[in-house]
Amino acid sequence: MTSNAFIAFQTNDVTRSIVEAIVEDNPGAIVVEQPAMVKIDVPDRLVIRRTSVEEKLGRDFDLQELQLHLITISGHLDETDDEFTLSWNS
Amino acid sequence: MSMDLRTISITPLRQTFGHLARRMGADKPATRYMEATMDLQPVENYHYRPTWEPQYEIFDARRTRIVMHDWYALKDPRQYYYGPWTLARGRMGETAGGDFDLVDELGLAAAYPAEGRDLALRVLLPLRHVAWASNINNAYVSAYGYGIAITQAACYASMDQLGVAQYVTRLAIAFDDLESLASAKSAWLEGREWQELRHFVEDLMVEHDWFALLVAQDFVIDGLLYPLLYERFNDKLNAAYGPVFSMLTRFQREWAGETAKWIDSVLKVAAGESPENKAQLAVWINDFRERTVKALTPIATIAFGDKATAMLDEVILQLNTRAAKAGIPL
Amino acid sequence: MDMKTSKKLGLKERYTMMTRDLAWDTTYQPMDKVFPQVGYEGIKIHDWDKWEDPFRLTMDAYWKYQAEKERKLYAILDAFNQNNGHLSVTDGRYINVLKLFLGSTPPLELMAARGFSMVGRQMVGAGPRVACQMQAVDEYRHFQTQIHSISNYNKFYNGMDEFAHQQSRMWYLSDGKSFFDDAITAGPFEFMVAIGFAFEYVLTNILFVPFISGAAYNGDMAAMTVGFSAQSDEARHMTLGLECIKFMLEQDPDNLAIVQRWIDKWTWRGTRKLASVGMMMDYMLPKRIMSFKEAWEIYFEQNGAALFTDLARYGVTIPKCFAQTVEEKEHVTHQSWLGFYMKPESTPFHTWIPGPDELDWLSEKYPNTFDKYYRPMYEYLDAQEKAGNRFNNKTQPMNCQVCVNTIKYNEPGDPMEMCFRETVYQGEKFHFCSGHCQEIFEDEPEKYIQTYISSHQALQGNCAPEGVDTHAPDFNPGSHIADYWRLDPRATGDFNGSEDQKNFAAWRDLATKN
């Protein structure tokens, strides 16, 4: 059975770029907009790459900056300097 | 529909919450500190007793020998609720980060005399473990203290101590010398010069009276250790080798100065409550000071050589003066 | 090992050096005296170093990001208050959501702050201890920002001013209080399963995500900002809860049975607690974003299925109550709102009969149950109200001995039959709202016989305000209860005709007319 990993952000200028980066890096990503927030579901594994976000934002980005915009996540988290990954193992 | 809500003037039905209006004696606006603090901890109608301490209620004023008729008298003169606390630490962290960056960019650590570096790291690095002990002991106060006025300040102090432990750790990174961290930990665990201090903070980890922990950690240990090592020892390093450590320990000095105002005020209010409180505080301060001085003596000897006793006497006098100002003659 | 490359340390190594490398095993005092609570629940931990740190924030990064959040949040709050933002919400009824929220949520965030401080003191491993401490200080943030965001509403509307006094006295707040009192009086591992896992991971998404998005939809910038800002910490908390479960299960196979019992217990207790949140979504938000049923499906059923499918590799099974919650999602919010409507003299917030378009929305969202069971009741109550015969239930409710909710839920499989269970323990009879609560009681009767049930206490004369002589011959236990609660009569009863309704309309007129 496929499970979705997901992440939700407050909608703002920075998260627009983050969401764009996620959509490009995660084929199958489903983006749902709700009042003041945006939720992205990806089957099994969702990855946010620092370099992709930096490209969209046009500046350096520390993945820990995600802390400012997060609303919720689902999946096991693995965080390195370069990638923020949410996944289900099964 | 277009509305210009700014232009209308309406009279509020009330200025603040009922518990604050009763406390302040009049219906006037309360500060955000008051709103975030006063009378919020439950005091009655608990459903269950703790399975881990069934002799007490969940929150129970009997967990210390200090007695207050109003635990919210132990206010924080800094008026720290979460917002101003984290903003203050964010600002201090920005400055500290800038200092660490500058030392790195200018190669100041690499250029620092080896003799001075070795002495400084030998004295300062084990202090990360002292701060860690204070983190856990302040966490105890945050957990089992009575009233949000004291528990939130202890919670912030506990996180501050973790921050201090991390800034001390960064000294080794700044000097690109992780082996010094391992040596400092061995010294903390086995070196004779640190054992009295380790013994004392481990004893505090089994102390059940949370107010005793406040006195021991935040007044006595920090009140002697910070002036001795982060001020006087730092001055000595500055004079002998240049001001690099001054930059890299700025957070600790600024923090200690600010935090002393809080703990002094807490002690003053508690001592002013009753002669019994005052006597108990004096007993604690005397006992803890004796142990701390004994524990710091070998470290002061490493730091100051034959000036150790003179330096210790200065900081003891300073602590006694603070106690006297708080209305606690020793 | 090359220790000379400190500047190239990765996030994980650096974080390890900044946290668990600070710790040591005590020798002057035995470890089991320093950490006396980790053994008695029966959880076996062999190697605390196997703990995987969830988020790896050092304090400097924590302060930096949290300071930025706080700066933004208070700037928005100040602007909202200065501009009379309370008048920009969709409808005066909306403000009743905030009354319920203020009474029920900040006091529980405070309990979480204290509870995580306790676990942050008691856990042996440095990794979990630091993570718990960080959550504790976050929880201080949450109850404080919540109070600050509602403070300005309190100046203009009734029913919010006595939340601190009411938190331990008000009958309908007793379920939340019992939930957190139960968790905090349990041992550190059960607390982590209760709050860290069942509440934070499995259930708070339901509380915050659709609810706060709903606040935004209804023009409440203050609640939206505070809610989402709190949620940004929540992601860290959820990760901690999940890590704690995995850690216990990986440490020893004997832990599974204990953890499973806690998951079953706390998922059920949390579900009961959330009935009032669902009610806010379905009945109290004038503009609705999604139904409770839809939120339950997304955040509990789908997300929960993913989670429990994943945890199956440890032998964990889906919580026992799962099927019952799926059945109840079509009922609980309606039963809850009806319950509050029928007690108009007992809450510091107003109730109302949903308008015709709102009834239609409920019919559409609850096609299996609303028209069949609940619409006829609302239509009947509406007709009675209009005929001057407003329903008012003055009897003391019967409460569940475990979750303390009023016994009002239906029998599984039979929506027309009220569910009721009882157990005799040491010669005394105890009542329950459900088989799940009954089972929780029977597992730990010595704990649950202590439950503080306000209706019983009132009848025993224990709910009199200060200064009233409960031994006086003419003392009538029921007559003092409103004073004991400090319940402002202006805040009770129907929204229609209330002072709030009149003020909101009059103040809006000032802004829209010359």
What pLDDT digit, counting tens, does each position of C217-260 carry?
999 988 888 888 888 898 899 999 999 999 999 999 999 999 99
Comparing CB atoms, the residue among B91, B155, B189 nearest residue C136 is B155
Q: Summarize pLDDT for C322-354 with one digit per residue, the tens.
A: 999 999 999 999 999 999 999 999 999 999 999
Comparing CB atoms, the residue among C164, C450, C512 nearest residue B17 is C164
Phi then psi for residue A27, to 5 deg, are: -60, 140
Q: Summarize pLDDT for B290-317 with one digit per residue, the tens.
A: 999 999 999 999 999 999 999 999 999 9
In this prediction, residues C134-143 reach a mean pLDDT of 97
- C283 and C377 both lie in a single domain: no
- C343 and C360 both lie in a single domain: no
User: C239, C55 in Cβ contact below 8 A?
Assistant: yes
d(CA B155, CA C510): 46
At residue C2, the pLDDT reads 39
At residue C9, the pLDDT reads 85
A4-87 to CATH, choices 1.20.1730.10, 3.90.56.10, 1.20.58.390, 1.10.150.120: 3.90.56.10
At residue C3, the pLDDT reads 42
**Residue B4 pLDDT exceeds 80:** no
Say if the Cβ atoms of A79 and C56 lie within 8 Å: yes
pLDDT-above-70 percentage for chain B: 98
- C237 and C124 both lie in a single domain: yes
Nearest residue of C to residue B141, measured between CA atoms: C117
| B–C interface: beta-carbon pairs under 8 A | 268
User: B99, B52 in Cβ contact below 8 A?
Assistant: no
Q: Which two tokens stand for residue C399?
A: 């409460």
At residue C7, the pLDDT reads 62
Predicted TM-score (pTM) of this structure: 0.96
Helix (H/G/I), strand (E/B), else coil: A9: strand
Say if the Cβ atoms of B6 and C83 lie within 8 Å: yes
Cα of A51 to nearest chain C Cα, Å: 16
Residue that wins the pLDDT comparison between C274 and C74: C74
Say if the Cβ atoms of C307 and A81 lie within 8 Å: no
At residue B27, the pLDDT reads 76
Say which CATH number the domain at C293 has: 1.10.620.20
Amino acid B208 reads: H
At residue A90, the pLDDT reads 56
Nearest residue of C to residue B101, measured between CA atoms: C7
**Residue C53 pLDDT exceeds 90:** no
| A–C interface: beta-carbon pairs under 8 A | 91
Q: Summarize pLDDT for C156-175 with one digit per residue, the tens.
A: 999 999 999 999 999 999 99
- C294 and C318 both lie in a single domain: yes
**B80-325 — its CATH code?**
1.10.620.20
Q: Which of C19, C21, C77, C454 to mutate to test the interface with B (most CBs of B within 10 A)?
A: C21
- C236 and C303 both lie in a single domain: yes
**Residue C185 pLDDT exceeds 90:** yes
Burial class (CB in 10 A: 0-12, 13-18, 19+), C486: middle
Going from N- to C-terminal start, the domains of chain B cover 80-325
Q: Which two tokens stand for residue C172?
A: 């309908």
- C340 and C373 both lie in a single domain: no
pLDDT-above-70 percentage for chain A: 98
C285 within a domain of the structure (yes/no): yes
Weakest-pLDDT range from C4-13, C140-149, C319-328, C478-487: C4-13
Nearest residue of C to residue A7, measured between CA atoms: C235
- C333 and C367 both lie in a single domain: no
Q: Which two tokens stand for residue A5?
A: 């990993």
Comparing CB atoms, the residue among C11, C68, C307 nearest residue A68 is C68
Say if the Cβ atoms of C232 and A80 lie within 8 Å: no
Going from N- to C-terminal start, the domains of chain A cover 4-87
At residue A1, the pLDDT reads 63
Closest CA to B76 of B323, B266, B258: B266
Residues of C with Cβ-Cβ distance to B40 under 8 angstroms: 106-107, 110, 143, 164
Residues of B with Cβ-Cβ distance to C23 under 8 angstroms: 132
C7 within a domain of the structure (yes/no): no
Q: Summarize pLDDT for A49-88 with one digit per residue, the tens.
A: 999 999 999 999 999 999 899 988 999 999 899 999 999 9
Residues of A with Cβ-Cβ distance to C61 under 8 angstroms: 64
In this prediction, residues C32-38 reach a mean pLDDT of 97
Show which of residues 20-79 on chain A sit within 8 Å of chain C, judged by CB atoms: 34-37, 64-65, 67-77, 79
Strand partners, A10: A37
Nearest residue of A to residue C55, measured between CA atoms: A79
C252 within a domain of the structure (yes/no): yes
Say if the Cβ atoms of C239 and A10 lie within 8 Å: no
Query: Scanning the structure block, which residue is given the tokens 């505080």?
Result: B281
d(CA B129, CA B135): 10
At residue C460, the pLDDT reads 81
C47 within a domain of the structure (yes/no): no
Q: Which chains touch C (3 or more CB pairs under 8 A)?
A: A, B
Q: Determine which helix (DSSP H) or strand (DSSP E) holds C414, and give its type and residue range.
A: strand C414-418
- C459 and C379 both lie in a single domain: no
Indicate the average pLDDT of chain C.
92
**Residue C206 pLDDT exceeds 90:** no
* pLDDT confidence band for C4 (50 / 70 / 90): very low
Say if the Cβ atoms of B40 and C110 lie within 8 Å: yes
Region of A8 please: left (phi>0), alpha (psi -120 to 50) or beta: beta
**Residue C6 pLDDT exceeds 80:** no
Q: Which two tokens stand for residue C434?
A: 């459900």
**Residue B6 pLDDT exceeds 70:** no
C41 within a domain of the structure (yes/no): no
C4 within a domain of the structure (yes/no): no
Q: Which two tokens stand for residue B66?
A: 């200090």
Q: Summarize pLDDT for B209-264 with one digit per residue, the tens.
A: 999 999 999 999 999 999 999 999 999 999 999 999 999 999 999 999 999 999 99
**Residue C208 pLDDT exceeds 80:** no
- Burial state string for B232-260 with b = 16 or more CB within 10 A and e = fewer than 16: bbbebbeeebeebbebbbbbbebbbeebb
Helix (H/G/I), strand (E/B), else coil: C284: helix
Residues of C with Cβ-Cβ distance to A90 under 8 angstroms: 309-310, 312-313
Count of domains forming chain C: 2
Q: Which domain holds residue C450?
A: 59-352+391-465+476-512
DSSP β-ladder status, A4-10 and A37-43: antiparallel
